[in-house]
Amino acid sequence: MAIVEAKQLTKVYGSGETAVTALDHVDLSVAPGEFVAVMGPSGCGKSTLMNLLGGLDTPTEGSISIDGKEVAGMTDEELTKLRRRRFGFVFQFFNLIPVLTAIENAALPLTLDGMSEAEARAKAADWLAKVGLSDRMKNRPDQLSGGQQQRVAVARALVTDPALVLADEPTGNLDSRSSEEIAGLLKTASDEWGRAILMVTHDPRIAAHAHRIVFMEDGRIIDDTQIAGSDDARKAMEKVGLL
Amino acid sequence: MPVRHAILGLLDQRPRHGYDLRAAFEALVGGPAVWELKPAQVYTTLDRLERDGLVAPVERVRIGGPDRVVYQLTDDGRSALHGWFAQGVHGDHVRDTFFVKLMVAVATTGADPRAVIRQQRITLYRDLHALTHNRATIDRTCDLARAMLLDKAVMHLEADLRWLDMVEARLGEIEQQPMPQPLPRRRGRPPRAAEDDATEMAAG
């Protein structure tokens, strides 16, 4: 069963003559453990797609199911819980809380969800170990390198055991070495830890880490290609004219 | 407002008239879409700077339209500019419009603070996507300063989004607590404690 399945997803902003169709009957399904990159020129509908799948906005038409359950029928409270428990968000900047240690930062989504401190710390410790930070758990962000902070941020996104990690231009501002590192971590999260990842990016080198690239234009998916490595990624991009 | 000192800085480069200053300021901050300066503000600022002796008119020029007064920086103006450089700028994140809205929603019967948070999240995500898009169109090899400014805005938006998650998670507790109240103000004559102290000290 797909982790997330969008059917005929449509979003229209405004009405009448000024209406803009940001998303036009899009079908997209992401399987567990799949790493999908979404690419396309600005205004192609990538951000709208992410907002809808992340439960931030409601579609004009079509449906979204998460874990096989239709989102449209959910109450606001259920949606909030879904967001908090089944989605992980990776942002462009790590934005760790400076007064908290690595383990406290990583545990935060769990403690906010009402889990006991001890249980949350144990889970956070597991994830920090997985991202290679077992010897840095008690360090505060200012005592960590940029790459290490990034790892804490990824651990924080994974600690709730999300079905789907949404990463919106996660390397938007990073230097190329850090970009590679975070893309590699996301790949590990999907390959080894079975997380489904949906990443919007405009960077071909980062998209090359994904299993699949979905190309969008004018609110539609124009191509959807499985890839293995940067050669495939380049060919796929040449095919749709992005390179 | 840094407009006053920005004008001093722009006049330190060379004498300029108001129209020129306005265009130069807007270019500096990333365009009129980011920070539009009204002509009236430029001219009142120049009047005050002239009154304070920080700038002085040097000539009138005429390019097509009306006469324009060209100003130059005075020595006092230059030291005011360097005084400004010598001081830090405080961050202002405590006076927060959304926080006020949320607290009023918490206290208002029939309002739904959770819906207020959700709407805020949608709004911030839209802003975030717009900024990310703008930043992607910038060429960092020739416009790095502007890219860094947008980075700053993105960083703050993302922090706001994380903060919203925290507030949403703890809203129940916030609702249980009494709303912050003003400190009670004493009525009548002020207390006489100070006088008593003085008497005691005099006696001791």
pLDDT digits (tens, 9 = 90+) for A139-173: 999 999 888 888 899 999 999 999 899 988 887 66
Chain A residue numbers with beta carbons less than 8 Å from the beta carbon of B148 are: none
The separation between CA B173 and the C-alpha centre of its own chain, rounded to angstroms, equals: 32
For chain A, what is the radius of gyration of the CA atoms? 18
Which single residue is written with the structure tokens 């006991």? A116
What is the C-alpha separation between A116 and B25, in angstroms, rounded? 53
Q: From the CA of B21, how many Å to the nearest CA of chain A?
A: 32
How far is CA A16 from its chain centroid? 33
**Which of A171-185, B34-48, B56-70, B137-151 has maximum average pLDDT?**
B34-48
* Lookup: tokens for A34: 């799949």
Whether the CB of A95 is below 8 Å from some CB of chain B: the reply is yes
Contacts of residue B71, defined as CB under 8 A and 6 or more positions apart, other chains included, come to B11, B15, B16, B17, B18, B46, B49, B50, B55, B56, B57, B58
Q: Mean pLDDT score of chain B, rounded to an integer?
A: 87
**Is residue B156 within 8 angstroms of chain A, CB to CB?**
no
Chain A residues closer than 8 Å to B135 by CB = 172-173
Burial of A195 (C-beta count, 10 Å sphere; 0-12/13-18/19+): buried
What one-character DSSP code corresponds to residue B203?
H
Q: Could you tell me the pLDDT band of residue A72, with boundaries at 50, 70 and 90? A: confident
CA distance A47 to chain B (A): 7
Closest residue, chain A, to B123 (C-alpha): A56
Residue B204 pLDDT: 42
Q: Which of A113, A115, A169 to mutate to test the interface with B (most CBs of B within 10 A)?
A: A169
The predicted-structure confidence for B115-144, as pLDDT tens digits, reads as follows: 999 999 989 988 988 888 888 788 777 788
Half-sphere exposure of A171 (CA within 13 A, CB side): 23
A 204-243 residues inside an 8 A Cβ radius of B: none
Q: Which residue of B lies nearest to A174 if distances are taken between CA atoms?
A: B151
